[in-house]
Structures are given as C-alpha cells and as structure tokens.
Chain A
Amino acid sequence: MRKNISNWGNYPVLNCEEVSFSMEEQLTQYVNTHDHVIARGNGRCYGDASLGEHSVSTLRFDKVLAFDEENGVFECQSGLTLDQILDIIVPRGWFLPVTPGTKFITIGGAVASDVHGKNHHSEGSFSNHIVSMKVLTAKGLTECSPETEPDLFWATCGGMGLTGIITTVRFTLKKIETAYIRQKQIKARNLDEVLQLFEEHKHYTYSMAWIDCLQKGDSFGRSILIVGEHATKDQVAAKAAKAPLELPRKMKLTVPFNLPGFVLNNFTVKLFNALYYAKNTKRVIENTVPYEPFFYPLDAILHWNRGYGKDGFVQYQFVLPMDKKDGLVAILQKISEKGWGSFLAVLKTFGKQDDLISFPMEGYTLALDFPVRNGLFPFLDELDALVLQYGGRLYLTKDARMQERVFWDSYPNAERFREIVKTWNPAGKFRSAQSDRLNFQFA
C-alpha cells in the first residue's frame, strides 16, 4: 500500500509503497519482481536511509532461530527488535554485545547501520560480534561472514541496505550475572575536563557523556560523564540479588502528539540543560541501576521525537580523529553561538575501527538534535565543511540532508564500497532515497 512514511526524525516524509513479508519465499518473490527496493526495520534511523520507492518492512520477519545458551550464540531473522531479544536473553544470563541508545531497532538495522554503543572504545561496533548472516542480494540469498564472501559481509555492515536485504543474523552475546549496571556519574565543568575524564576512565567497559552545547566561556562544553560495568551478583542490593536477572516492570510515558514548534526554544532548552546538570548535586555519584535507564534513558518516553513538532528534526552526528580536538572545539563553538541545538548532546570516544564503510573511527563523536527550521540546512552545510576540514565524517543512519560531495570526500573507502555493491546489486535494484541523494551510481 502506498503511504507517507518518515523515520524517527519525522523528516523527510516520503510517499512509498510499503510491503511486508513473514516468510523467505514471499520476500524472494517480491524482490525478483520489483526494482528500487530498500529494507526498513522499526523506522529508527533518523532520515531517509530506509525510504524509497518500495520500502520492504522486515517487522513481521521476527523469529528466533537458534540460541546456544551454553556459549551465548544467538540467531534470528532480521526483523526482530533488540527489545524482544533482551526479553529472551537477559533472564538467561546473556546481554547484547553492543547496543545503541534505543532498544527499539531491529537486528537488521543494527547490522545495516553497524551500530555502536557506550562500549565502542572497548568492544567495537556490532559487526565485531557477528558470526555470519544471510543477505538476499540481486544474485540471490547468500551467506556471508568475515571468512566467507568477506566483501559482501563488510559491504553489508554499515552498508545501509545497498547490498540487499539482510534476512538472518548469527551473533555472539555477552555473559552477565545480573540485569544491573554499576554506574558512576561525574560532572565536568567544561570540555577539557570531560575529555580528560574520558581518558582517565577508558578502562571502563561503558562510557559516554551528556554535554550542554549551549554553554559559553568557562562552562563551554560542561558535561556529565557516565561510565559503567555490568554489576556482579554481590554488587546488587539484597532484594535484587534474589532474582538478579529480572527487572521490575515500569510504566511507560508517551508524547501522544506532535508538540507545537515553539515549545522547544533557546530558553526552554537552556532551562532543561541547567536542571539536568544541577540534578547531580554531588560531583561524583556511584550507584547500581537496572540496565534499562543506563542504556535506554529515552526509551522510557515513547514517541519522544514528537517533542520537536511536526516539521521534524535531524540528528547531527559526526566523528573526528583523536588528534583533532581543536576541530571539536571549533564545531562546538559554532553550535553554541548559533544556539539552535537540542536539549542534550551525546559525546563519546571511539576506539580503533578500520572497516570498509562503518561510521566509527578512533576519535570523538558528538550527536545532537536540531529541529528543522529555515536556515538549518545551510548551517549544517557549514558544520559539514568543518567536519571535512578536520578529517571526520557523518553517521549515515542519522543523515537526512548531507550533500553528495560530503559523503564521497569523507568516507575513505566509499569508492571501494561502491565497487563491491555493484557486484551484488548491479542494476541498483536495492536503493534508497538516501543513496539517490548521495548520487550512488550503481551501473
């Protein structure tokens, strides 16, 4: 059925033919008889990466195929969400090897975006934990792994669906004793302090910082660093220790409709940020919390994206190499001068990664939301120029507006990626509004 679809940023809204499937045969038949096809999971990428003429929803393709509870190896169809996987694996003492800041994404989306989490510096991105997967390419269903068909494998991890439709994924899990995280929060007065804190805490498995992008002067870049480790049984309170792998059920809040655009303005955002910073009255707080608020603080508010109003927003996420701290300062300054930034931005250090087309590289990554408004895109183009100048790049899964040149100039293996995609998707059968925007020449 044709309908208007948008992803999490509510921008852009495109009219797409949406189809779904629950069995492999249905998918194969559809792909064989249609062009301009792109897979779509739970719609949690922010922009147009999973929108296209024929948007194929994987959400009904959601079966668990194997779970080796001894060795922690899990296999499922691509439409299963992390949320459902956690419900199955956590009570049995296992956890996702890598998780982004929402659990409402599908496993296919996790692979296609090669998602990273708070543990990137210590455990890499999702692709680092994949044993093997199957992809329905233009040549048919193909199994791939770092050993078999490695080109297809690496072009599919972070490849935004351009090699075909991921059907099943087999990946390794992480052993846990409890469903709790031993967390430590440290307030940093400015950017220098938070970057130093990252360095001092790099032995922690998980780390990230909330940064207030509207501050200037001495408080420029003030942040709260949050680090954590999976709690062991003896680290949780006596009550929780009785059932250490179970979490109390909680009420979910929701934003029931799009808030009017004026609700979020410079004043309310500043106020929110000030309150957020002030809520930690002590400089250092250490406590044990369930994994949900630690990994997924925003998932507690369903449809929080509606808070940005009906025009939508874009999330701007870039990475800069470790030695380009001056670049980070320059970009943050530009953002704070403009004053258009969102509530809180996320700052994180990445560890080494040198894949074909994945976003992460060793360095600093910053992510923040900008509500769509007049003049936003020219401003983001200016930021892009700085990102390029300092040798960084933008995260494709957040992207809704990057200009063609920025992508091809910033991803060092883009040309090689295109060559591999061409062998599996020669006529551009699999293409998205994003790949069209970036002028991805398949032929």
Chain B
Amino acid sequence: MPTVLILGAGSDIAVALARRYAAAGFTLQLAGRNPEQLRPLEQDLRIRHRIAVTVHAFDALDFTSHAGFYRALPAPPDVVLCVFGYLGSQEKGQQDWQEASRILHTNFTGAVSILNIVAEDMAARGKGTIIGISSVAGDRGRMSNYLYGSAKAGFTAYLSGLRNRLWHSGAHVMTVEPGFVATQMTGHLALPALLTAQPGEVADDIFKAAEKKKNVLYTKWFWRYIMMIIKNIPEPIFKKKKL
C-alpha cells in the first residue's frame, strides 16, 4: 500500500485528510509538533480503517531538524501533504515582529525547508506527489490578512516552480487553495455558511484531485471564480476598499 506523510497532522483539515487517505487504505505517517497529541488520532485511524500508522515529531520552525526528521521516517512517502499553517493575528503582526515572523516562517520558510528535502528525494526516485495546502488569501493581498496572505502567495509561487521542476523527473506537485473552511483556525470568525466548506469536503476534493494529478485545486470549486473576480478588480478601486 502507498504511504502518505501528513505534515501538521493536528489540524482539522489534516484529520479529515488522514481519514480520507486511511479509508483508501494508505499507510499513514502523522507528523506534528506534539506527537503525544496525535496518539488519539493514530488509534482512531488504526481501529476504524485497520491500516498502519506511525507518529513523528516535526516542528516546521525548527529548520535544521527537517533533514533528520525526513531520513528517520520508516519509509519514504509516496504522497506528502504539507498541511501546517499559522493564521496568526494581522493586527498584532503589524506591530510585533515576533508574530509577523512566526506567520511568515510557518507558512512559507518552514514549508520550503521541508519540501526542498522531500523534492530532492522524489526527484531522485523519479516519482511521488507533493500536495501543498496554500490559501486563496495568497491570490491578492488584503488589509485584513496580508501577512498570512503574502506568506501563502510565496508558498503558491514556490509550489508552482517546484511543479515545473519535478515534472521533468516524474514527480507531481499539486497546489490546493481552500477558501473558507469551518475549522478551529477560523472558529472565531463569522464565515458565510454558503461559501464555507467542512473539512471532510475539502479532504475529499483534495484526494480526488490528487488521484487525477490536478495542478491547482480550488476548494470548494467556486473559489476559482471568486478569486478570478477579486484578482481583476483594478488596483485604484481595490485599494480604497476595506477588505
């Protein structure tokens, strides 16, 4: 059975993805900052789906540990899901570099650091799939979350370049741009119900799109068109809006 590595396995989208891949019979490698917190999920997947699961300590911000972490995995993964992220507080980040740098380094630098290592391995093996969870917030900077948005924009550009590179060696990269998802990350926000997806729906979309080797997935699907409109609002108008 193929193996999937989930980086940032504690989030709601990660749990939904773990369940979706487990249901398809994949072997799972769950990685997160606090492995003890992943034990209940590990048991859950094992019991529900009768699959093999391992748990690994992984800290996106501890860049120097990434190579050792990847080497120590029990098997090189066939699919790597880069799910971790940090929304943070835009307002706080404007005044507090600690917060700003945590947003930038978790969402961009940390992801680049680990995926560089994964990419080298997949390029050498000539196969594999990297799935990066970016965000529609990276499609255009808005005053309400441009720190998070700019880190995700960088991540989106990185994934696009990586896809270009790895195509030549036989591996695939998929960029996922979720819109609103009802998760703990967004629990304090009042999201419009019609535009908001459940983590299970997002996981299902991702799984199916990855099977079809899609390049860029917007989930739910209509976000592609919402973002097309948002990206095309002329800057003189856009800058005057409170978005």
Identify the A interface with B (CB < 8 A).
1, 3, 19-23, 25, 60, 62-67, 77, 88
Contact = CB atoms under 8 A, between A and B. Distances in A.
Given A21-B184, A63-B43, 9 more contacts: A1-B187, A19-B187, A20-B187, A22-B10, A22-B12, A23-B40, A64-B48, A65-B43, A88-B47
B189 interface: yes
B94 interface: no
18 contacts: A1-B188, A1-B189, A19-B187, A22-B12, A22-B184, A23-B37, A63-B43, A63-B44, A64-B43, A64-B44, A64-B47, A64-B48, A65-B40, A65-B43, A66-B43, A66-B47, A88-B47, A88-B48
A19 B186 CA distance: 11
Contacts of B189: 1
Given A1-B188, A88-B48, A77 B40 contact: yes
B190 interface: yes
Given A22-B10, A88-B47, A63 B41 contact: yes
Interface centre among A22, A25, A62 (most CB of B within 10 A): A22
A391 B143 CA distance: 64
B44 A65 contact: yes
B15 interface: yes
A60 B41 contact: no
Contacts of A77: 40
Contacts of A25: 37
A198 to B, nearest CB: 39
A1 B186 CA distance: 10
Q: Interface of chain B, helix or strand or loop or mixed? A: helix
Contacts of A60: 12, 184
Contacts, number: 37
B43 to A, nearest CB: 5
Contacts of B41: 63
5 nearest A-B pairs in the assembled complex, by CB-CB distance: A63-B44, A63-B40, A64-B44, A64-B47, A67-B47
A56 to B, nearest CB: 12
Interface string B35-50: 0010011011001100
Interface in B159-218: 184, 187-190
A62 B47 CA distance: 13
A20 B187 CA distance: 8
Given A1-B190, A25-B37, A60-B12, A20 B44 contact: no
Interface centre among B41, B47, B189 (most CB of A within 10 A): B47
B43 A23 contact: no
A66 B40 CA distance: 9
A81 to B, nearest CB: 13
Nearest to A66: B43
A134 to B, nearest CB: 12
A73 B181 CA distance: 35
A125 B206 CA distance: 42
B238 to A, nearest CB: 28
Contacts of A63: 40-41, 43-44
Nearest to A75: B43
B221 to A, nearest CB: 22
Given A60-B12, A63-B41, A88-B48, A20 B184 contact: yes
B148 to A, nearest CB: 19
Contacts of A23: 10, 37, 40
Contacts of B43: 63-66
Contacts of A88: 47-48
Contacts of B187: 1, 19-20
B194 to A, nearest CB: 14
A22 B190 contact: no
Interface centre among B40, B41, B184, B188 (most CB of A within 10 A): B40
A25 B33 CA distance: 14
Interface in B43-92: 43-44, 47-48
Interface in B7-48: 10, 12, 15, 37, 40-41, 43-44, 47-48
A88 B44 CA distance: 11
A1 B188 CA distance: 5
Contacts of A67: 47
A147 to B, nearest CB: 25
Contacts of B10: 22-23
Contacts of B48: 64, 88
Contacts of B184: 20-22, 60
Given A63-B41, A77-B40, A22 B47 contact: no
A96 B46 CA distance: 20
Contacts of B190: 1, 3
